[in-house]
Chains A and B, each alone.
Chain A
Amino acid sequence: MLRLEGASVDIAGARILRGLSLHVPAGGRVALIGRNGAGKTTTLRALMGLVPLRAGRIAIDGRDCTRVEAHARAGLGIGYAPEERRLFGSFTVAENITLPAEVLRLPRPEVERRRDAVFALLPELHDFAGRKAAGLSGGQGKMVALGRALMVGTRAVLLDEPFQGLAPALALRYAEALGRLRAALPDVAILITESSPDLLTSLVDATYVIERGEIVSA
């Protein structure tokens, strides 16, 4: 489904990814584990087209997407929840969630259907749907970022360190939500980055370990 082959990325003259390859099959739950600075975030940003590849290719369902513009990737069915949440603070939670679907010019009923499906999966979002995103706590924000990614992530969802900075109780709730995704969205490929594998063992079926921009075990 989602394939990165021999990807190399430079940022500000420094090599961050060194010929990295990984594969997330349709319906697969894959973890990318590595320390801070190993290249996890850069891997996801490369998949989203937010940093250019120096070498290598990205394929979605066998189709080469290396040169597809970043903004066109959401339209290919890839949802992305960045590490820092990156919500739009002046919008409400509901507006943050529906924005990517509206940008794709999906018809209103379809936007509402997807939003309601997200609310069903992540019920707490429904409770603060009308609140401004700027007023959310970090953990609530992570949930919103997940919901927003699911709105367009019909093929694949990329989650960058979703457990980072979450209080234990919230981390548990987040993990439960991810568990529900498996049943609700059996065909969606999910790639999760994390610095420690402990939280993900029960949630994923494959793990890659990244060190200094290279996969060291898969």
Chain B
Amino acid sequence: MAWLSDNAFLLGLATLDGLSSAAAIFMVAVGLNLVFGVLRVLNVAHGSLYAIGAYSAASLGLFAAARGLPAWASLPLLVVAAALVGLVLGPPIERLLRRTQDQEPVLQLLVTFALFMILEDAQKLIWGVRPVVSDAPVKLMGTVDVPIGGDVIPFNAYQLFLLPGVALLTLAALVYGLRRTLFGRMLVAVTTDREAARALGIDAARITLVTFTIGAALAALGGALASPTTSLVPGIGAQTIVLSFAVVATAGLGQVEGAALTSLLIGLGRSFAVYLEPELEVVVPYLIMVAVLLVRPQGMFGVLETRRI
């Protein structure tokens, strides 16, 4: 108890930081999950979409500021940048990966990894290797005093409200969309059994294309939303995709709510490590993953195969 009250300030800060990083991880992981469901390809290049979304949002924000657009415009521009990245890059990448759909998993992984390397270099070519900073949205929203124990932590409202808020909205939209809309049911059907879905009249190729584009846009949105909170450097894509793999493996494939809870667990776990035992930061997400998979190999929320008899 004494330790808790001594470290209340650090713990509070770690929780707030963890929540906002969980929000960004969720956006990437849930897209990765949806795409794997319809395409059955584990897309390493999904992390590039996060990075390109982040850089595009920063560039668009800086461009708008230079053109004298009002500061509030920086917020909707984050979404515009993400949508553009999803629409421009999603369909061609889907077309490429679809050709590997029935191939060996090793080949699929090599193709997506090669694509990841190409996109990583393209990103250096366009944005260079010097850090890019565009924090207008964070400045715009100011700070909020968060009371923790006897202390008050001034924390920026952007990370406190906007990031988790958008992630929650995305979660709600996906849960509603998957359960209550025809498109969502068709997506679930294609994910469950592609051939049976086609035999029932579902255009699986179209569902896959649209789902991939949504997944790409979500990854780009994760990057775009995270971009004002950090300086952008090469390598953010790799860091994100590895964390997303950990989330998807821990949650179990095909789980939207599970991905949200697991993102929270891993985001908070990592953030606590940063504040309390910084040398463990990198390893904590994987310790959580290993611990879960040892007990439940199908993932925390994954379901075993449906009964056959």
With A134-B307, A135-B307 known as contacts, the answer to whether A71 contacts B203 (CB < 8 A) is yes
Contacts of B308 in A (CB 8 A): 84, 138
Contacts of A70 in B (CB 8 A): 198-199
Contacts of A148 in B (CB 8 A): 200
Contacts of B195 in A (CB 8 A): 50, 82, 86
With A99-B189, A102-B182 known as contacts, the answer to whether A89 contacts B306 (CB < 8 A) is yes
Residues 26-70 of A contacting B (Cβ, < 8 Å): 48-50, 69-70
CB of A46, distance to nearest CB on chain B (Å) = 12
Determine whether the beta carbon of A91 is less than 8 Å from that of B201: no
Total interface residues on B, CB under 8 Å, equals: 20
Determine whether the beta carbon of A100 is less than 8 Å from that of B306: no
Determine whether the beta carbon of B201 is less than 8 Å from that of A100: yes
CB of B29, distance to nearest CB on chain A (Å) = 20
Chain B residue at minimum C-beta to C-beta distance from A90 = B188
A94 to B196, CA, bound (A): 17
Determine whether the beta carbon of A90 is less than 8 Å from that of B198: no
A50 to B196, CA, bound (A): 9
Residues 131-168 of A contacting B (Cβ, < 8 Å): 133-135, 137-138, 148, 152, 165
Chain A residue at minimum C-beta to C-beta distance from B207 = A71
A86 to B190, CA, bound (A): 12
**Contact for A82 among B182, B188, B199, B204, CB less than 8 A:** B199
**Contact for A71 among B182, B201, B307, CB less than 8 A:** B201
With A88-B188, A88-B192, A95-B185 known as contacts, the answer to whether A103 contacts B309 (CB < 8 A) is no
A189 to B204, CA, bound (A): 27
With A86-B196, A90-B192, A99-B189 known as contacts, the answer to whether A134 contacts B201 (CB < 8 A) is no
Q: How large is the interface on A (under 10, 10 to 19, 20 to 34, 35 or more residues)?
A: 20 to 34
Determine whether the beta carbon of B307 is less than 8 Å from that of A86: no
- Residue B193 interfacial (CB < 8 Å): yes
- Residue B186 interfacial (CB < 8 Å): yes
CB of B210, distance to nearest CB on chain A (Å) = 14
- Residue A192 interfacial (CB < 8 Å): no
Contacts of A80 in B (CB 8 A): 199-200
- Residue B202 interfacial (CB < 8 Å): yes
- Residue A104 interfacial (CB < 8 Å): yes
A72 to B200, CA, bound (A): 9
With A70-B198, A80-B199 known as contacts, the answer to whether A88 contacts B189 (CB < 8 A) is yes
CB of B135, distance to nearest CB on chain A (Å) = 42
Determine whether the beta carbon of A100 is less than 8 Å from that of B185: no
Residues 281-309 of B contacting A (Cβ, < 8 Å): 306-309
Residues 165-201 of B contacting A (Cβ, < 8 Å): 182, 185-186, 188-189, 192-193, 195-196, 198-201
Most buried by A among B189, B306, B308: B306
Contacts of B204 in A (CB 8 A): 71
CB of A60, distance to nearest CB on chain B (Å) = 15
User: Given A48-B199, A69-B203, A91-B189, 12 other A-B contacts at CB below 8 A?
Assistant: A49-B198, A71-B201, A71-B204, A82-B196, A84-B308, A88-B196, A99-B189, A102-B185, A103-B186, A134-B306, A137-B307, A137-B309
23 examples of A-B residue contacts, CB within 8 angstroms: A48-B199, A50-B195, A71-B204, A73-B201, A75-B201, A80-B200, A82-B195, A88-B192, A89-B306, A90-B188, A90-B192, A91-B185, A91-B188, A95-B185, A99-B200, A103-B200, A103-B201, A133-B306, A135-B307, A137-B307, A138-B308, A138-B309, A152-B201
Residue numbers of A with Cβ under 8 A of B are: 48-50, 69-75, 80, 82, 84, 86, 88-91, 95, 99-100, 102-104, 133-135, 137-138, 148, 152, 165
